[in-house]
Structure formats: structure tokens, C-alpha cells
Structure 1
Amino acid sequence: MGGAHSGGEAGGARAGGTDLGVARFFARLALLAAVGSLVVLVVALGEGGLLVVGAGLAGLILCAVGIWWFVAHRGPLRLLGALLVVLAPAGVVALFVWDGLWLTALVLCLCWGLAVFCARAALRRSRPEEPQRATPAARPRSAVLIMNPKSGGGKVGRFGLVERAEELGARVILLDPSAPADVAALARQAVADGADLLGVAGGDGTQALVAAVAAEHDLPFLVISAGTRNHFAMDLGLDRNDPARCLDALTEGEELRIDLGDVSGRAFVNTVSFGVYADVVQRPEYRDDKAGTALSLMPDLLVGDGVRRLDSLVDGDRLDDQQALLVSNNPYFSPDEVSGAGRRPRLDDGELGVLGIRVEDAAQAADLAVRGSQSTGLTVLSAHRVEVTAADTAELPVAVDGEALRMPTPVVCTLRPGALRVQVPRDRPGVVPPPPALDWRRIRDLALGRTEPPPTR
């Protein structure tokens, strides 16, 4: 096994010994730092300690209100929202400096930051993530790779992917940007011609189409990180900065068995989006001006005539009246995927991730900013089946791995566990484990020696 897996396996082996002791040490430090922040606050009560907390909270709320006004409105209210986003944090900092509270605020932030850092270190070491299991992969005799020369701003040409692939014995099908092709049909023809591995250098939407053909024929699938964001490649632990390294899987590879999403008969590798985002990407101008198109449409989609409410059944339980719904191939660690920053710790857990959002005014936006995943405007679930509808419409706009589609209702999302064989290089960066969610009760139990490591998978 290569470097991407040896460290994770060692971490799992240490879970019952050294790492548990280290976890308890960090848990005790976390509790001390948390208590320290409370002591600082109590000591500073007469010198503005409560003002520090109150001003910081007020600044956060005003920023959230400003973002809502900027996104959901036009004209003067949008301008006011932009000013709030800039002036609220600046005003908090100015207040701290003016009243001589900056040292108290700094010490509070340092204490709490240390508490969070140590708490997450303790949780990570007490429950190390077991890496996805990989098996040695045979070198393909007739690999076929489909490459999009425009993807990722021309990464295929910049990194010499065609030449490198052909040096390694693969046959390359280079797409013609001026003549859109049916990549699924190209992949099926390659299989009919004897291909024993299929691969794609392109965006995640193209990856999904060819992955479906590979899964259908139980062939290995090669992901080449030549797209723009490469979310799928990131969650496979591939090198997103140098897509040529992905081609090493042709000669020194190993295989991962992962899940493949299905939305009404179409495969997806990352996400299916309904509601606001799906409505925006339907517009032709979105590809050339993403930010401008979104800002132009958001007011109508959030509070205007274009408001759409989504109803869904999540494993039989109702989740209604959502403005946006995101269904993912395995759960993301946090709701940050709404902004494109999320990660999936695993791609083989056999469950869909479900994220529902309903924010209708500035007060709810502030509640979301302060309470995060505990806010009533955010619903985070996992499921095996999600069925989505909307009132008075027989067809829904849907964004499948970023591709704009329209599908008849109900739109059904499911998962095919272990359906896809992905061939990856043995030597690859690996998956960066996300920080664990804070669980202060478990931190307390760890610090007091009341807990044992969980059984391994």
C-alpha cells in the first residue's frame, strides 16, 4: 500500500493505546482553556467583559442581516446591506480599541480558540477515521480516457495529459468543444471495442456520465482532476493541483469501491440541488457571469414572484416548504457545501446526505449565523431515499453535479452502494479528515477517563 493509506491504518491501530492517552490529554487542556475563557470573562465584568461578548454577538448579527439584505433585495437596501457587512466588524474592532477592551477581547479569543483546537484534537484522536479500503489494481491492457480540452480553463493542454496518457498506453478520445458529444455514448462504444478501464479528464458532470457506464459494466473508472473545482477528486484524495499525477493509477494503482448516486435514473457523484441554486444555473448567462447572474436573480427567487417551495419525503418523513434542498452522494461533514467548501469524509457509507434551507427574512438569517446547524432554518439529515416535489408543477429545475436539467416530479434520489470501482494512484495526497463536530459532553468524559475507544469498522 502507498503513502495515502499507511498513516490512516497506523492511526486506527493506535486507537486503543497511545492515541487514547493523547486524546485525554487534549481533552483536559480543552476544558482548562474553556474554563480559562470563563474566568477571563468574570474577571473582566467590571472592565467591559460583557460588552466584549455583546458587541461581538451584535456584530455577527448585523453582518448576517447585511448579507441577507444584499442577497435578497435590490436598490438602496442592497447597498445598505453591503455597508453593514463592511462596517459591522469594523465598528466592533473600533469599539474595542476606543474603550481599551482590545486586550480582553484578544485574550478571550485566544482562550476559546485554544479550547476548540484541543477539543477537536481530542475527538480526532479518540475516534480516528478508518480510511476507505483499497485493493491492488492490475494494469489495464486497453484503457480509454475521454478528455475535455476546455475543462478547468484548459488543464488538459497545460499539463500535457493527452501525451502523458498515450505514453502510458491509454487511448485518448479528445472532445471537440465546437461539437458537443454524447460522452456516455462514447464510453459505451469504448466498452464495445474492448476497453477494460474508462476514465475522464473533465468536470464532475462529465465524470458522472462515464462513471455510470463503468459501473454498468463493472469496469474500473479513472478520475483525472482536470475540472474547475474537482470536488469528486478531492474526496477521493487525488492531487487537484497536478492532474497528471492521477494518470499514475494506470501503472501503479489501487482500487476503491465507492457509492454512486442516482437521481431519477441519472448517475451523480457529488450533489443534486433543488430550489434557488438549481433555478440560477438554468439561465444561459450563468456560465459566463456566475456572480452577476446570481445577484440579479436572488431577490425574485428568495422573496419575490419567483419563490419556489420544495416538499420532500426523506425516508418517508416529510420535509416541506424548503427554499433549497441539496442531496449528496454520502453526507458532507458540514453545511459549508452550500458555499462549495464542504468535504465528505467517506464515499462508501451507503447513505445520502440531505441539507434543507429555509430563510425568509433578516431575523432568520441572523438566527442561522448565531446558531448554525441548530437553527430552525437549516435541516441536516442522512437518508437512503429522497423524493422531491413542488406544488403546482409537473417538472422541476435540477442541478446534477452542477449541470442544469429539468426532471418530471417526483424526482427520486437513491444510492447504489459500492457500485463504482475507482482506480487511484497508490501515491496520492489522500483525504484530509475534516475537523470533528464539537461534543463537550464527550470531551468531559474523555478528560475524566470515563470513555473507551469505539470498536473499529
Structure 2
Amino acid sequence: MRGLLHSRDLALFRSVAGRRWPGADQVLPRLSRSADHGLLWFGAAAGMAALGSSARARRAALRGVASLAVASAAINTVGKRAVRRERPILDLVPMVRQLKRQPFTTSFPSGHAASAAAFATGVALESRGWGAVVAPVAAAVAASRVYTGVHYPGDVLAGAALGIGAAFALRGVVPTRGQLPAPGRPPTAAAPLPAGKDLVVVVNQESGTATATASLVREALPLAEVVECAPDELPGALVEAADRGRALGICGGDGTVNLAASVAATHGLPLAVFPGGTLNHFAYDLGIETVHDTAAALASGGAVRVDLGRFRPGPQGPGGADGYFLNAFSLGVYPELVRTRERWAPRIGGWPAGVLAAFEVLRGQRPLAAELQGKRRPLWLLFVGNGLFQRVGPAPGRRHNLADGLLDVRAVHGGRTPGLRLLAAAVAGPLTRSPVHAAVRRHRVRIAGLTPGTPYAYDGEVAYSGAELTIDKLPEALTVYCPMTL
């Protein structure tokens, strides 16, 4: 049987070698070389992350690279050692097709085909659109390995099957966004606003991709009023918009949405969120990733009620208004990280600034001295989430219920090695207790004994505390337009 398969494989290889495909001599050898060590796919992933206008594109790029890594590990540790098949003899392959540097490893299975199939499949599992773009390139890379004479067709088919299997195996460990259950959210009625009629959308001009997103909003909702303004003009613009419309729209990141949420809740208006910031955790947890998602919800009147986190006193200090958060409130290293990141971001970009900020903060920060629920001890980090954050694979991520009435409270206790303690807390996950990390559910949290002026962060914004803080929730206080098909 093995001899029969080899003879048929050889016959097919000879058939390919004897054919000339128009334009292939100039394209396929170069394409094959570009995929060496996965460089083609790493470049494609970077392009998707940079050019993609949604989180789906970035997730697809990340899943494609992760699937490629799993496939490569399987090929190099098991595949190449299981069947030591010799490479094809190149006598039948025209010189113009042959690679300048011939591979020296065994022929079965094809690592290039495995990487191509794994990347394309991983991308497609998160985004069908990007998968359709990548798939033809992956197929061409796989075909190039036979066309250039470095693999038999059977090697390529086996490699492709292994790559596809690696992508699905990874999905079994780290589910795609589509596999996760829809968040538990009480549905409610909101006024349908087809084409954005009676909707006023406020856009933060300096928030991530908000300006570009605003153009998409105008196209999708021609009857909506769109107001673009600078960050310091947002509070006044939001109040004016709430007085004019039947619903309040907001385009920006989490900090911008936070401002709009407090205004919408105060005025009793439903909120329409258009993700346009660097981070859009609240929108993504609701299943809103594009302008189309929000436009569809506005047309149908689909909406949900969500909890609103509250802390007192608010950013204005004693006697001032309450503060609110949609995602999380934190004390300790994270507020300092946010401040440092914001200082560097205009010069070197958001993600590099985040890495630099983490390095600086973990190197020089000291534990926070505070009394938490009546017990005083040093803390590196206190995190209070608006709803319980669930795991997505190996790390905490999405919230499955935005109206559970609970606070997700996590504390990383003080010590000499903040980096190791924070890493251990991340690995431990939610709702655990250890000498390093504790996580519990609460309806209310009281923090005392703070040094006045201690920085805290809420939805990516930084303010400064007095001696005490009280954190609780306003259950189902906010109505948000949301696609109900999720």
C-alpha cells in the first residue's frame, strides 16, 4: 500500500513538473521563499492588525499567528521525525523554478503548507472576510512547494491537513469570540431610530479611530446629527446632545463612553455606542464591533440594560458628584501605568508606550498602603470590575453578564517582586485565594486609610482620591442599543 501511494504521488509530481503555468515561474518561487520561517504570515498579521478597522481583524491576526505556532511546533517535534522521506529529485523540474537554497530536512510533511493552512484557517475562524483574503495566498504557497520541486503533493496535503488540525485544536483550548455564549443581559425596549432619526452622536476627535468611524456613522445613519469636538468640550457637548435627541450616541474609547454613560443615565436616555478608541472593552463585551452593529440595533430598537459601577466621592473630590465606571476601577500600579503610558504615547505610539510604562512602573513603584474592608495590608493592585470577568483561554477577558449586580474584586498583595506577583495573579485567574492574590465577589467595597492624592483609574481615566472611597453599583441603570442576534 505504501509503495502504491508513493508511485501515485511520484506520478502526480512528474505531471506538475511537466506542466508550465502562465506567470508561475516568476511568482511561485518568490512566494515560496517569502514564506520561509513564517515571515510572509507574520507580515500579513501585522498588516491585518494595522489596516483592520475592527477588533475582529486584530483577533484574526493573533489567532492566525498562534495557529501557525502550534502547527510549527507539531511539525518540528513530531512530523519531521515520524516519516523520514527523501526530497524529490530535481531533474524533472526546470531550473527557473528551483529555489536557490534547497531545504535539507526530510520531505514529509510540508512545513510551509502546514504554516499556510494553519494561518489561513486560524484567520478564517475569527473573520470570514479576512479568511477569504488570506486563503488564496495560502493555497498558492502550498502549491509552490510542489511547483518548485521541494515536496511531493502528498507532503503538501499532509502538511495542510496538519495545519488545519492545529488551528481547530487551538480553538478547542482558546475559543473564538463566536463560540462564547452571549452575555447575560436583560433585554429592554428602546425607541427604534431608523437611519439615526432623532439621534445625536458626539465624537471625541482625539480618540483612536473616532474621526474615521464618524464618517462611517454619517454614511450608515444619514438622519443622525454628528457633533465632533475636542476632549475638553465633551462634557458640555454631551449635555447639549442629551437635551436635543431621543437617544445619545457616542463615538470614542472607553473613557469617552464613560462620560456619555453618566449623562445618558442621568437624563434617562438610551445610549448608542460606536467603538472608535484604542480600547473598546465595553462595546466589545456587548457584541458591538462595527458601526453596522449599532445601526442595526437602532433600526430595530434592540437594547439591553446594564449595571453602572459607582465610586464615591467622585473625581471632583469631597462633596462632588459621584464617579461611574462601565468596565473597571483600580488602585495601585495600574493608575501609574496609565499616567506613564499617556505621557509617552504621543511620541512613540500606544502599544510601545504601554510596554515602556509597565517596565518603569514595575521597576520603581512601591506597594500601596490601604485598609480594604477593615483590614490593612500593602497592595500592588486593587481591581474592581463592573461584573465578573471570565477567562478567554489562559487569560481573563470577556464579561458574560453585564447586569449581574456584582463587583469582581481582585487584590494583589504587597511584596518585593511586583512583576512576579502580578504574573502569578494573572495565571491564578478569577475567584481564587492565595498568599499573592485574592479574588471575591462583592456588592460593595470600602477603602480607607488612603494617602490623599493617591491616583486611581476608572475606564482608563486617572483621578486622585481623598482618604476614603466607597464602591458599589447601580443595577441596570443604563440602557444601551445592542444587536439582539448575538
Tell me which interval the TM-score lies in, with the shorter structure as reference length: 0.5 to 0.7
Instruction: Say if 2:268 is the partner of 1:268.
Output: no
Query: Does structure 1 residue 215 correspond to structure 2 residue 269?
Result: no
Tell me how far 1:220 sits from its aligned partner.
Answer: 0.8
Is the contact between residue 224 and residue 244 of structure 1 (CA under 8 Å) also seen in structure 2? no
Deviation at 1:185, TM superposition (A): 2.2
Which SS does the other structure have where 1:267 is aligned? strand
Q: Distance in 2 between matches of 1:219 and 1:328?
A: 24
Cα distance in structure 1, aligned partners of 2:191 and 2:472: 31
Answer whether contact 1:328 1:352 (CA < 8 A) is retained.
yes
**Aligned AA for 1:132?**
R
Note if contact 1:278-1:397 (Cα within 8 Å) is conserved in structure 2.
Answer: yes
> In structure 1, how many angstroms separate the alpha carbons of the residues matched to 2:330 and 2:281?
15
Distance 1:166 1:174, change over 3 A: farther
User: Equivalent residues in 2 for 1:128-167 (5 A)?
Assistant: 131-140=184-193, 142-152=198-208, 154-157=209-212, 160-164=215-219, 166-167=221-222
The TM-score normalised by the length of structure 1 is: 0.57
Corresponding residue for residue 229 of structure 2: 175
Within 5 Å, give how 1:3-402 maps onto structure 2.
131-140=184-193, 142-152=198-208, 154-157=209-212, 160-164=215-219, 166-167=221-222, 169-176=223-230, 180-193=231-244, 195-238=245-288, 240=289, 242-264=290-312, 265-283=322-340, 284-288=342-346, 289=348, 290=350, 301-302=361-362, 304=364, 306-313=365-372, 316=373, 318=375, 320-334=377-391, 342-358=397-413, 360-361=416-417, 373=432, 375-389=434-448, 393-402=451-460
Q: CA deviation at 1:297?
A: 5.5
TM-score normalized by structure 2? Answer: 0.54
Partner of 1:228: helix, strand, or coil? Answer: coil
Shift of 1:257: 1.0
Give, in angstroms, the shift of residue 312 of structure 1. Answer: 4.2
Question: Does the residue aligned with 2:397 lie in a helix, a strand or coil?
Answer: coil
- Give the Å deviation of 1:229: 2.5
What amino acid is the match of 1:185? G
Distance 1:254 1:323, change over 3 A: same
| Alpha-carbon contact 1:165-1:172 (below 8 Å) kept | no
Q: Given the superposition, is the C-alpha separation of residues 294 and 138 from structure 1 closer, same or farther in structure 2, using an over 3 Å criterion?
A: closer
User: Equivalents in 1 of 2:329, 2:423: separation in Å?
Assistant: 27
8 Å contact kept, 2:184–2:403: no
Q: Contact conserved, 2:411 with 2:439, CA < 8 A, in 1?
A: yes
**Paired letter, 2:339:** Q
Question: Secondary structure at the residue paired with 2:367?
Answer: coil
Distance in 1, Cα, partners of 2:425 & 2:458: 26
Distance 1:117 1:396, change over 3 A: same
Contact 2:214/2:226 (8 A) holds in 1: no
In 2, Cα distance between equivalents of 1:214 and 1:267: 12
Supply the distance in 1 between the matched residues of 2:426 and 2:311 (Cα, whole angstroms).
31
CA distance 1:360–1:157, change in 2 (3 Å):
same
8 Å CA contact 1:279–1:397 kept in 2: the answer is yes
Which amino acid is 1:388 matched to?
I
What is the root-mean-square deviation in Å for CA atoms of aligned residues?
4.0
Paired with 2:310 and 2:273, the residues of 1 have a C-alpha distance of: 19
Give the letter aligned to residue 201 of structure 2.
L
Counterparts in 2 of 1:170 and 1:334: CA distance versus 1, 3 Å:
same
Question: Is 1:404 paired with 2:455?
Answer: no
Structure-1 separation of matches of 2:326 and 2:411: 19
1:398 shift after superposition: 1.4
Residues 363, 208 of structure 1: alpha-carbon distance in 2 compared, 3 angstrom cutoff: closer
Q: Give me the whole-angstrom Cα distance separating, in 2, the residues matched to 1:423 and 1:363.
A: 41
Residues 227 and 336 of structure 1: CA distance in aligned 2, closer, same or farther (over 3 Å): farther
Q: Secondary structure at the match of 2:378?
A: strand
Deviations 1:179-201 (A, max 9, x none): x43323222222333x2100101
Q: CA deviation at 1:320?
A: 2.9
Does the Cα contact within 8 Å between 2:303 and 2:479 map onto a contact in 1? yes
Describe the SS at the equivalent of 2:259.
helix
Deviations 1:381-428 (A, max 9, x none): 11122233455x21211121111222323122211001001112345x
Residues in 1 aligned to 2:423 and 2:271: alpha-carbon distance in whole angstroms: 44
Greater RCO between the two (CA within 8 Å, min separation 6)? 1
Look up the SS of the partner of 2:256 in the other structure: helix
C-alpha deviation, 1:291, in angstroms: 5.5
- Secondary structure of 2:457's counterpart equals strand
CA distance in 1, matches of 2:303, 2:211: 24
Instruction: Provide the C-alpha distance between the structure 2 equivalents of 1:370 and 1:262, rounded to a whole number of angstroms.
Output: 28
- For 1:1-26, what per-residue CA distance to the aligned partner results, in whole angstroms no more than 9, with x for missing partners? xxxxxxxxxxxxxxxxxxxxxxxxxx
Which residue is equivalent to 2:481?
Answer: 423
Offset of residue 202 of structure 1: 0.5
Larger Rg over CA atoms: 2
